[in-house]
Amino acid sequence: MIAEIVGYIASLVAISMYFPQVIKSWKTKQVQGLSALTFSLLSLNSILWITYGILIKSIPVIFANFVVWILTIIILVLKKKYG
């Protein structure tokens, strides 16, 4: 039970790390300082964590990394569009 709670809290923290960048990039349409390679690797990392989460049947791992994956894709789309 405590492990699950910690997992959900960690998931929320992981997700919240990406929102400021997505919001700033969306509003300002400025992404020149962002590395497409970094966000591509973060996207791949999320896919691997999602796969791991599925294998160990961990909802917090799957959920957090799915949301993070979506946010990294948004950044990459913004980078392609405005960068």
Q: Which amino acid belongs to residue 55?
A: L
Which parts of the chain register pLDDT below 50? none
User: How much is the pLDDT for 3?
Assistant: 86
Residues in the chain, overall count: 83
Q: What is the pLDDT of residue 8?
A: 87
Sorted by where each starts, the structural domains of the chain and their CATH numbers stand as 2-82 (1.20.1280.290)
Q: Is the pTM of this model over 0.75?
A: yes
pLDDT computed for residue 73 by the predictor? 98
- Measured between its terminal Cα atoms, the distance across the chain in Å is 44
Question: Cα angle at 31 between 29 and 35, to 5 degrees?
Answer: 160
- How far apart are alpha carbons 74 and 36 in whole angstroms? 11
The pLDDT assigned to 74 comes to 97
Question: In whole angstroms, how far apart are CA 13 and each of 8, 29, 34, 55?
Answer: 9, 25, 21, 22
